[in-house]
C-alpha cells in the first residue's frame, strides 16, 4: 500500500534567504496511484508584501491574505497530513527551501527529515524529455491534461494537475512492482501465462529509396574524401586474404 502527497506552494518571491515567505500551501493525497479526494489547503499571512513579479503569477494580495493564519498556526496540521507519505513536488528544491525556512523559524527539523521521501517530478520529466520545456503547463500539454482553467498559479489547482502529470510520467511502472504480500500467486500466474509471440514486419526499400540512399553515400564519400565507413565494402577475395595472412 502506497500513500503519496502531491505538494505545491505559492510564495511572496523567489528567495527564502532574503525573507520571502509561503503564502499558500496545498497537498492532495494519492493512495495506490489513485486520488482519494483528501487534501490539505490553506492560505497564509506572510507578514510582508509579495514581489510584483510574484503577484502577477499568483494574484494573492496583501489585503486578501491579511486575515489568514500564520505558518506556525497550521504547521502541526500540515505535518500531520504529510507524515508517513512520499512527497511529490515539481522542482522540489524550491518548495523545500521555503518549507525549511518556515520550519527553522519554529526550531523544527528540515522538511526532508520529517517525511520518508521527496520525489522531484521536474527531474523525472527532464530524464524522459531531455532538452524540452518541462514546466507544469508544458507537461500538461504533452500528456493531454486539461489546464485551461489555470489562468493564475494556485497551490491546490497546481497540486491536482501535478498529480495527473505524475501518474502520466510513471504510467506502466505499476506493472513492474512485485506484490510482496502474495509472491506465490505471482509465480503461479507467471508459470501459466503463455509467452507472447509476434512477427516483426519486414519492409524492403523501393528503387527510389535505393537511389536516394546511394546519393547520400556519395555525398558522405565526397565530404570525407573517400574515408566514409558507411558504404558496404566488398568481401576480400581468397587471394587478398592469403596475401594479408602472409603479411
Active site residue 153: yes
The yes-or-no verdict on residue 189 having pLDDT over 70 is no
The yes-or-no verdict on residue 20 having pLDDT over 50 is yes
Which domains are present in the chain?
A: 3-174 (3.30.420.10)
Name residues whose C-beta falls within 8 Å of residue 100's C-beta, 6 or more positions apart in sequence. 16, 110, 111
Computed over every residue of the chain, the mean pLDDT equals 85
Residue scoring higher pLDDT (199 or 65)? 65
Per-residue confidence (pLDDT) for residue 159, from 0 to 100: 96
| Model pLDDT for residues 31-72, shown as the tens digit of each residue | 999 999 999 999 999 999 999 999 999 999 999 999 999 999
Name residues whose C-beta falls within 8 Å of residue 84's C-beta, 6 or more positions apart in sequence. 3, 115, 116
| Model pLDDT for residues 143-169, shown as the tens digit of each residue | 999 988 777 789 999 999 999 999 999
β-partners of residue 120 are: 89
The catalytic position among 58, 90, 153, 186 is 153
Average pLDDT of the residues in 176-205: 51
d(CA 31, CA 37): 10
What b-and-e string marks burial along 47-67, b requiring 16 or more CB atoms within 10 Å of the CB?
Answer: eeebbeebbeebebeeeebee
The yes-or-no verdict on residue 191 having pLDDT over 50 is no
Amino acid at each position: 500500500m502506497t500513500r503519496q502527497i502531491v505538494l505545491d506552494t505559492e510564495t511572496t518571491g523567489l528567495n527564502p534567504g532574503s525573507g520571502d515567505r509561503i503564502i499558500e500551501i496545498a497537498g492532495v493525497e494519492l493512495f495506490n496511484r489513485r486520488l482519494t479526494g483528501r487534501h490539505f489547503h490553506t492560505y497564509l499571512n506572510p507578514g510582508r508584501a509579495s514581489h510584483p513579479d510574484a503577484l502577477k503569477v499568483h494574484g494573492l494580495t496583501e489585503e486578501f491574505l491579511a486575515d489568514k493564519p500564520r505558518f506556525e498556526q497550521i504547521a502541526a496540521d500540515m505535518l500531520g497530513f504529510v507524515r508517513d507519505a512520499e512527497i511529490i513536488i515539481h522542482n522540489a528544491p524550491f518548495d523545500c527551501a521555503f518549507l525549511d525556512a518556515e520550519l527553522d523559524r519554529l526550531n523544527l527539523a528540515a522538511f526532508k527529515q520529517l517525511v520518508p521521501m521527496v520525489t522531484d517530478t521536474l527531474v523525472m520529466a527532464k530524464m524522459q524529455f531531455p532538452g524540452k520545456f518541462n514546466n507544469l503547463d508544458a507537461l500538461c500539454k504533452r500528456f493531454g491534461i486539461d489546464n485551461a482553467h489555470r489562468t493564475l498559479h494556485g497551490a491546490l489547482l497546481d497540486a491536482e494537475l501535478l498529480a495527473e502529470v505524475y501518474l502520466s510520467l510513471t504510467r506502466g511502472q505499476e506493472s513492474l512492482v512485485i506484490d510482496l504480500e502474495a509472491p506465490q500467486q505471482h509465480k503461479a500466474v507467471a508459470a501459466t501465462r503463455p509467452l507472447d509471440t509476434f512477427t516483426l514486419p519486414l519492409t524492403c526499400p523501393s528503387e527510389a529509396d535505393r537511389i536516394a540512399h546511394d546519393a547520400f553515400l556519395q555525398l558522405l564519400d565526397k565530404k570525407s574524401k573517400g574515408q566514409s565507413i558507411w558504404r558496404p565494402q566488398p568481401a576480400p577475395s581468397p587471394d587478398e586474404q592469403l596475401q594479408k595472412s602472409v603479411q
